[in-house]
């Protein structure tokens, strides 16, 4: 990881901590989502669209910055959902994050899209501490990106690696019970288990840029930032792991 001294912007030093002004992008699924963290408060524009991410993402960024009186030069870092997810969508977020960070010499914070999904679901459902959350993002038909987390009352802690579940792998990545919550647009991949065990399910949940921003602030506190050249998408291996946004 680059030393922090290598990540300072030109001209003046910006505050880089939990109060930093951070722009966050998430386009790994049907959601085109941008968020802005200012002094620890997070503001977002989140839209579920089809094949519109490339057209909408920059106008959404500019509108969000303008509505809160923030210039790009005021940003301290850029965060993005690094995947896994749609091949096109993940590349859009990475490319925009790299472009903005290169122009302003800003550090970048890559955030797992599955972790952002779990975090967003925890915010939305307010589960009890100890709840397991199985986050799913659709890949191709009958293939699913999946990872499991435990909500500890403040954050979602990873319990498994991110992986691809194929048509012949319908078992969840860990043992589940009635308190387990399945979230994401590939929740149906585990429909038999959900029905048999009586787990909770939210198939409408998608990764949210507000969650990316929140997780990015935690990463910044730990010093987990990279330069633009190292802000790369995550490509999981599988039989046919990528899909178009419209699929």
Cα 20 from Cα 221, distance rounded (Å):
10
Domains of the chain: 4-112+207-230 (3.30.420.40), 114-202 (3.30.420)
Find residue 182's DSSP bridge partners.
134, 201
Cα 67 from Cα 45, distance rounded (Å):
11
Cα 179 from Cα 200, distance rounded (Å):
7
Residue 13 has a pLDDT of: 57
Residue 15 has a pLDDT of: 77
Q: Interior CA angle at 243 toward 124 and 51, to 5°?
A: 70
pTM for the full predicted model: 0.90
Residue 237 has a pLDDT of: 66
Which residue from 79, 63, 68, 67 is spatially nearest to 23, judged by alpha carbons? 79
Task: Using pLDDT thresholds of 50, 70 and 90, give the confidence band for residue 238.
Answer: low
- Is-contact 204 182, C-beta < 8 A? no
Residue 7 has a pLDDT of: 39
Residue 235 has a pLDDT of: 79
Q: How far is CA 74 from CA 13, 24, 133, in A?
A: 10, 14, 36
- List, for residues 169-215, the tens digit of each pLDDT value: 999 999 999 999 999 999 999 999 999 999 999 999 999 999 999 99
- List, for residues 142-152, the tens digit of each pLDDT value: 899 999 999 99
Q: What are phi and psi of 4, to 5 degrees?
A: -60, -30
Residue 14 has a pLDDT of: 72
């Amino acid at each position: 990881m680059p030393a922090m001294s290598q990540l300072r912007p030109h001209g003046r030093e910006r505050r880089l901590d939990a109060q930093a002004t951070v722009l966050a992008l998430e386009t790994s699924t049907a959601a085109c989502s941008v968020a802005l963290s200012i002094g620890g408060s997070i503001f977002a524009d989140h839209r579920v669209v089809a094949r519109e991410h490339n057209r909408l993402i920059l106008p959404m960024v500019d509108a969000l910055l303008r509505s809160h009186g923030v210039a790009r030069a005021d940003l301290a870092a850029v965060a993005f959902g690094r995947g896994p997810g749609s091949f096109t969508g993940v590349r859009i977020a990475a490319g925009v994050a790299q472009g903005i960070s290169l122009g302003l010499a800003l550090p970048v914070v890559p955030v797992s899209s599955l972790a952002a999904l779990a975090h967003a679901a925890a915010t939305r459902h307010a589960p009890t501490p100890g709840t397991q959350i199985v986050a799913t993002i659709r890949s191709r038909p009958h293939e699913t990106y999946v990872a499991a987390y435990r909500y500890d009352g403040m954050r979602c802690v990873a319990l498994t690696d991110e992986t691809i579940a194929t048509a012949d792998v319908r078992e969840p990545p860990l043992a589940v019970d009635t308190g387990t919550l399945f979230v994401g647009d590939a929740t149906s991949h585990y429909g038999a288990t959900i029905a048999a065990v009586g787990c909770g399910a939210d198939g409408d949940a998608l990764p949210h840029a507000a969650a990316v921003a929140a997780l990015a602030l935690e990463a910044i506190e730990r010093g987990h930032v990279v330069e633009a050249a190292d802000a790369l998408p995550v490509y999981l291996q599988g039989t046919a792991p990528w899909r178009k946004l419209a699929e």
